[in-house]
Chains A and B, each alone.
Chain A
Amino acid sequence: MIRLPHLLALIALPVLLAAAASAGQDRALWPEVPKAIGTPHPEGNEYWRRHHPDLLRHDRDLTLRMGDRTVRASLRQCLVCHAVTGPDARPVAAGDPGGFCAVCHEYAAVSIDCFTCHKATPDARGLRVIEKARAMGNTPETATMIADYLEALQKGTAFAPQPEATE
C-alpha cells in the first residue's frame, strides 16, 4: 500500500534530480576526482582509470611472491600523490568517504577490499613529503622531491627507522 508520504516522495524525486542537474551538471552526474600532487602518469589518466585493478593485482603478486620491490603500481606510492586532505588537515583514508579511491568507487558501487589490511594513509615520512609539496606549490622542485621519495620507497630506504607509532 502506498501511503501519502511515499507518494509525495515519488513525485518530488524527479523534480529534485532535475534541479540538481541544472544546478551543476558535472557535479551531479560524475564524481569529482580529487587532484593529485607530483608528476602526472605518462600513460594518462584514462589509461589508469581503466586499468588500475589489473596493474595493482598483477604487481601485488610480483612483490609478495617474488620480492620485486621495484614494481610500477605500488599502493604505498599511490597514496603519496593521491592523498586528499580532510578538514582536520590530515589525509583522509583512501577508502573512506571523500578519499581518493572512494570518490569513484562509491559512485560505481564497487567495494574496496584493499584497506582491510593495507594502510589507507601515507606513512609518517610520506606525510612530511606531502606537507612540504603542498607548501612549495606545483614547481619542478616539488616534482623532484616527490620522485626522490617514491624512489626511496622502492629501494626500501624509506623503511628506516620506524617513526610511525608516534604519528
Chain B
Amino acid sequence: MKQPTPRPDAVPPSRRDFLRAGAAVATITLAPGVTLTAFGGSAEAEADANHRWGLLVDAGKCDPDCSACVSACSQENGWHDTGHPETDAQWIRKVDLTEIATGRELSLPVMCQHCESPPCVDVCPTGASFRRADGIVLVDKHICIGCRYCMMACPFKARSFIHETVPDADKRSFAPRGRGTVESCTLCVHRVDAGRVPACVEACAATGHNAILFGDLNDPESEISKALAQYPSMALRDDLGLDPGVRYAGL
C-alpha cells in the first residue's frame, strides 16, 4: 500500500492526538511484502493480542420465548428482514433443540463463533476475511468480492450475503454494510473498542436472564474465565478443533 505523504509539521498535536507523546510504532503485514506502519494509537482500546474476547452462553438460562439478543443485534447493526427468509441476513439467530431420546428442549443463540482457527479466513481468496489480534473475526468489506466461499466454509452458518441495496437510513455509521459483500457478527467491535459489551449481552442482561457473558478469555480474573473454570462448558462442533471464542454451558 502506498504510504500517504507526511503532513506539514505545523499540525497541532491536539488535532487527532496523532503525535502523542511516546507514540508506539506498529507494523502489520497486509500481504507478503506489503506492510502498513502506524505511529501512535491508543493503548487500551486497540485490537491487542493480550486479550481474547469471547462469550459464554448458558443454555439453561436462555428463555425459548425470548429473542431480545436477536432484536438488539438487529437494532444495533441495522440489519433486518427484507421478506426473503432464505437469503436474509442473520448475524445471530435463536436455535431450538430437542433431545430425541429424552425430549429435553433447549433454546440458544448462535452467532459467529469467533474461532481461533477460522475456516472462513482459510478459504478467503482476497484476505478480506480476517481475525483481529484480539480474536474477533471480521470481514474487510473494502476488499470482499462477494464470492461467498467463507459462507460455505463456516460450519456454523454464521455468515450471510447482502443481496439488496442497503438504504442510507438503515445504515449505522459504525457498522458499514452494503450490497455484494458478506457479513456476520462483529462481536460489536465498535462497542468492544470503546470498552463496552456487545448489544446482545446488554439486551440479555436487561431481560434479567443473564444467559450471555462477555469477557476476556485470556484474563484469568475475568468473570467469563472464572465461570469457564468453575462450570462445564463446550464449543459447538468441538470435533473440528476450531477453538471458538463462543462457548456454551448447559447443552
Count: A-B pairs, CB below 8 Å: 133
The verdict on A6 contacting chain B, using a C-beta distance below 8 Å, is: no
Quick check: which of A21-29, A112-120, A136-144 contacts chain B, the rest being far away? A112-120
- Docked Cα-Cα span, A121 to B42, in Å, equals 27
Knowing A69-B45, A116-B179, say if A62 contacts B38 (CB, 8 Å): yes
The verdict on B243 contacting chain A, using a C-beta distance below 8 Å, is: no
The verdict on A57 contacting chain B, using a C-beta distance below 8 Å, is: yes
Cross-chain contact B179 with A61 (CB below 8 angstroms): no
**A interface residue count range (under 10 / 10 to 19 / 20 to 34 / 35 or more):** 35 or more
B54 nearest CB across to chain A (Å) = 16
18 pairs from A and B in contact (CB 8 Å cutoff): A42-B10, A44-B8, A47-B8, A54-B3, A61-B1, A61-B36, A62-B38, A65-B28, A65-B30, A67-B45, A67-B189, A67-B193, A69-B194, A70-B45, A76-B173, A159-B190, A162-B76, A162-B172
Knowing A51-B5, A67-B134, say if A165 contacts B46 (CB, 8 Å): no
- Docked Cα-Cα span, A42 to B15, in Å, equals 8
The verdict on B84 contacting chain A, using a C-beta distance below 8 Å, is: no
Q: Smallest CB-CB separation from B132: which chain A residue? A: A67
- Docked Cα-Cα span, A156 to B190, in Å, equals 7
B200 nearest CB across to chain A (Å) = 13
The verdict on B12 contacting chain A, using a C-beta distance below 8 Å, is: yes
Q: Could you tell me which B residues sit within 8 Å of A by CB distance?
A: 1-5, 7-8, 10-12, 15-18, 26, 28, 30, 36, 38, 40-42, 45-48, 75-76, 78, 130, 132-134, 138, 140-142, 166, 168-169, 171-174, 176-181, 189-191, 193-196
B contact face: mostly helix, strand, loop, or mixed: loop
Q: Contact check: which of A42, A58, A65, A117 meets B3 at CB < 8 Å? A: A58
* Across-interface contacts of A88 in B (CB, < 8 A): none
Cross-chain contact A58 with B36 (CB below 8 angstroms): yes
Q: Smallest CB-CB separation from A115: which chain B residue? A: B168
* Across-interface contacts of A159 in B (CB, < 8 A): 174, 190-191, 194, 196
Q: Smallest CB-CB separation from B36: which chain A residue? A: A61
- Docked Cα-Cα span, A67 to B45, in Å, equals 7
Q: Contact check: which of B18, B130, B191 meets A72 at CB < 8 Å? A: B18
Cross-chain contact A119 with B17 (CB below 8 angstroms): no
* Across-interface contacts of A116 in B (CB, < 8 A): 178-180
* Across-interface contacts of A167 in B (CB, < 8 A): 169
* Across-interface contacts of B172 in A (CB, < 8 A): 119, 123, 162, 164
Residues of chain A in range 37-80 having any CB-CB distance to chain B below 8 Å: 42-44, 47, 51, 54-55, 57-58, 60-62, 64-72, 76, 79
Best-buried of B26, B30, B174 by chain A (most CB within 10 Å) = B174
* Across-interface contacts of A70 in B (CB, < 8 A): 16-18, 40-42, 45
Q: Smallest CB-CB separation from A42: which chain B residue? A: B11
1/0 per residue A92-132: CB within 8 Å of B? 01000000000000000000000111111111001000000
Residues of chain A in range 136-167 having any CB-CB distance to chain B below 8 Å: 154-157, 159-160, 162, 164-165, 167
Cross-chain contact A68 with B42 (CB below 8 angstroms): yes
Q: Smallest CB-CB separation from B176: which chain A residue? A: A117
* Across-interface contacts of B7 in A (CB, < 8 A): 43, 47
- Docked Cα-Cα span, A65 to B30, in Å, equals 9
Q: Smallest CB-CB separation from A55: which chain B residue? A: B4
Q: Smallest CB-CB separation from A62: which chain B residue? A: B38
Cross-chain contact A43 with B11 (CB below 8 angstroms): yes
Cross-chain contact A118 with B180 (CB below 8 angstroms): no
With A47-B7, A64-B138 given, can you name 14 additional A-B contacts, CB distance below 8 Å? A54-B5, A65-B130, A65-B140, A66-B28, A66-B132, A67-B45, A67-B132, A67-B134, A76-B173, A93-B168, A116-B179, A120-B171, A123-B172, A123-B173
